[in-house]
A = this chain, B = another copy of it.
Amino acid sequence: MTAPLHEAHPAGPGRALPDTQQGMRRRNLARVMHTVSAEGPLSRAAVASRIGLTRAAVSTLVDELIRSGLLEELGPERPGRVGRPGSALAVSGRGPAGLGAEVGVDHLAVCAVDLRGEVRARAVRHGTNRGRSPGPVVEDLTGLVRQVVAEAEQEGLAPAGLAVAVPGLVAGDARTVVRAPNLGWQDVDLGTLLPVEYPLLVDNEANFGGLAELWLGDGTPRDFLHVSAEIGIGGAVVVDGRLLRGTRGFAGELGHVPVWPDGPECGCGGRGCLEQYAGEEAVLRAAGLEPDGDRVGRLAGRAADGDADVRRALRDAGEALGIALTGAVNLLDPEGVVLGGALAGLAPWLLPSLRAELARRTAGPACPVSVSRLGPEGPLLGAAHSVVRAVLDDPAAVAARG
């Protein structure tokens, strides 16, 4: 009687329907896809042994996935092995693809990722979106989407969905941007503005960044706190391999954790929030620089050159991050903290004071802090991979649509 005591009732989210043969088949199709995706190429026999079903049961599932274009046979395995040669299975490099898009403050980007996880097409448009009204921005984005889709289709790929990362809070409908202060957007329904015929998912860039880290990071644990920055500070909480979304989808707002409760006023209504000390604009201000142009590049360049003001500003930002993270670590007890986005590029100057603050406020070993290798690519990749994961998680849905 250990962990199961605290498990939710089995009829929890995703398990609301009674157990039926049909539901069992769908879940087993997903198991086959995930197994081949993670460990393929694999023979039918190898898949069967890994997921604990009979070879006959697996063959039926595999045949269905091949018919739907989600798996492909690579031909007979090389001779020399014992027994009848099996045909190796691999995830298809054609068929469904995930489209990811990012509406950044300074750029727009779109990419297509196949079921194998490879980026197969990509388009970017540089230029500020700050203060532009949603219509023209979405029009530019739609142009990039068309361009990427055309490229992907030439390679035999078909979009299974479009996921859009935005720098703001997104409503529970996963379409409406409730508030994106650095764009100046409020209550913008991207579902209406974006003329796409496939499923749409809109989410906060920090959430997609956290998911990218979970799925693509190098040795990322299944319980971690992801901290990123563009203008503001974004956070994503991943618990047991799942993104913690919160009641309204607003969880992970690390940027508005109070650090010095009497500190400067913040746009969120609070005072002394982390963003007032460690957001890009706050750091530029503290270093006496203008908050425009290539913000991170300039900070990193000057810090590398030994600029004392910039180094001090980054050290103070690291200290504020350390204080806010102490609270977050006490609440969540994650296996680690991962710095992503712009923070990754500034890590050499943030980390010493950040780690020192965490260590001196923690009895026992402090929570390990690492730096993401995905950097600013995280949200875009996380968006595209969200679509890919949805296909792997329920291949039967694609087969039914196909």
Contacts and interface: CB of A to CB of B under 8 A. Distances in A.
Given A10-B14, A246-B333, 6 more contacts: A1-B200, A10-B30, A223-B247, A249-B333, A254-B330, A269-B362
A401 B53 CA distance: 27
A104 interface: no
A12 interface: yes
Contacts of A211: 6
Contacts of A323: 258, 261
Nearest to A269: B363
Interface of A: 1-14, 17-19, 24, 27-28, 30-31, 34, 51-53, 161, 163, 173-174, 199-201, 211, 221, 223, 235, 237, 239-261, 267-271, 323-324, 326-328, 330-335, 360-364, 386-387, 389-390, 392-394
Q: Number of copies of this chain in the oligomer?
A: 2
Contact of A335 (B4, B51, B237, B247): B247
Interface centre among A28, A34, A201, A327 (most CB of B within 10 A): A327
Nearest to A163: B5
A376 B328 CA distance: 27
8 contacts: A1-B174, A2-B174, A3-B174, A6-B211, A9-B241, A258-B323, A260-B261, A270-B361
Contacts of A18: 28, 31, 51-53
A110 B181 CA distance: 53
A4 B14 contact: yes
A5 B211 CA distance: 11
A115 to B, nearest CB: 15
A10 B251 contact: no
